[in-house]
Amino acid sequence: MGLWSGMRIAMLSPVSWRTPPRQYGAWELVVSLITEGLVAKGVDVTLFATGDSITSARLDAVVPRGYSEDESIEPKVWECLHIASCFDRAGEFDLIHNNYDFLPLTYSALVDTPVLTTIHGFSSEAIVPVYQRYNGRGHYVSISNANRHPKLKYEATVYHGIATEEFELYDRPGDYLLFYGRLHPDKGVTEAIKVAQATGRRLILAGIVQDEAYFESSVKPQLGKNGIEFIGPVGPDKRNDLLGNAAALLHLINFEEPFGLSLVEAMACGTPCIAWKRGSIPELVEDGKQGAVVESIEEAVAAVGRIEKLDRAAIRQHVIDRFSRERMVDDYIKVYESILSRKKERRGR
């Protein structure tokens, strides 16, 4: 056994949603998968998350519910209390695994416990100075090679993983196209609508409305026309059927995608993806094998007919081989061991 057999890990989760989320909440989902995978390997984990979170680890909670689920919870106040509750106990842990973006870094110089931060993405260039400030002291993991910032140093790239056993292969899909994610201009909803209209395919839009003005002006007027349907957010109970019965997932995002968890979930059901060649997409989807990596609406339209010939069992196997929870957890354990072994060496000098 390595160093991990006696590790004590503090896992700091966001508190926008429950960990794991009921429906939407990608960061919280990833934190839950890492936490449960570590516990299954015998690692001593304390999860800092909302009070209604579900975990086999120890749960430490000061925020009763996610602030995106309860408007009475003031985000900034409870964010500070939540992060402080973890760093107040820093001496009890060998390592703090921060999944809460840049704010916890401002606490990191106040404790001796190493802080590993998974950078789930950069909301803007404006937050980079915080990461730069703690670049020498902190430890960073990127979730794709494409999402690495040139001004920062990284321990490793650790791709997200999913619980592949919770997804099943659908080898006889329906004829509809699927958009699955936040309804926001960045996520390419109108682009998906254009592809569906050009191909004459039904399109199902599934997810939370994150930009009401955009939804009202650009999406809502298209609903009910040419088979375009909005079904709202979808939980785990209906997720597999929705993903697996789709002819293809459309992921025509208008930003540099840090990872793209929805693509991995779709592929776990055997569903090919049509996605822009932006950010991490080429690291997840091989053009002509798990879908099509395109650079225009015309290319996306042309790809719809081609991808139905792809081997859906091979698409699912691609996820099992590269994007499993077990692989993700093993990769994080290697990072933990590297950080802690270097700390041990420094103390021994």
Q: If you compute the radius of gyration of the chain from its CA atoms, what whole number of angstroms results?
A: 21
Helix H or strand E segment including 203: strand 203-206
pTM, two decimal places: 0.94
234 and 133 in a single domain? The answer is no
**Residues 170 and 312 grouped into a single domain:** yes
pLDDT of the chain, 349 residues: tens digit per residue: 455 568 999 999 999 999 999 888 899 999 999 999 999 999 999 999 999 999 999 999 999 999 999 999 999 999 999 999 999 999 999 999 999 999 999 999 999 999 999 999 998 999 999 999 999 899 999 999 999 999 999 999 999 999 999 999 999 999 999 999 999 999 999 999 999 999 999 999 999 999 999 999 999 999 998 899 999 999 888 999 999 999 999 999 999 999 999 999 999 999 999 999 999 999 999 999 999 999 999 999 999 989 989 999 999 999 999 999 999 999 999 999 999 998 887 776 5
Number of domains in the chain: 2
Looking at residue 103, what is its pLDDT? Answer: 96
10 Å CB burial of residue 276 (0-12, 13-18, 19+) is buried
Whichever domain contains 49, its CATH number is 3.40.50.2000
Continuous segment of H or E residues that includes residue 291:
strand 291-294
- Gap between the Cα atoms of 212 and 231, Å rounded: 15
Residues 174 and 296 in one domain: yes
State the CB neighbour count (10 A cutoff) for residue 327. Answer: 17
Which residues 6+ apart lie within 8 Å of 280 measured at CB? 143, 144, 145, 146, 147, 257, 258, 259, 260
Q: Is residue 185 domain-shared with residue 331, that is, in the same domain?
A: no
Alpha carbon distance 73, 161 (integer Å): 31
Same domain for 202 and 54? no
Residues 129 and 173 in one domain: no
How many residues are recorded in the chain?
349
Confidence at residue 43, expressed as pLDDT on a 0 to 100 scale: 97
Q: Are residues 215 and 247 in the same domain?
A: yes
What is the reported pLDDT for 1?
47
Residues 226 and 316 in one domain: yes
Range of the domain at 290: 164-322
Residues 141 and 185 in one domain: no
Please indicate, yes or no, whether residues 234 and 141 belong to a single structural domain of this protein: no
272 and 294 in contact (C-beta within 8 Å)?
no
265: amino acid identity, one letter: E
Residue 314's nearest CA partner among 167, 171, 146, 179 is: 171
| Residue 221 shares a structural domain with residue 343 | no
Whole-angstrom distance, CA of residue 119 vs CA of residue 209:
24
Statement to judge: residues 188 and 299 lie in one domain: yes
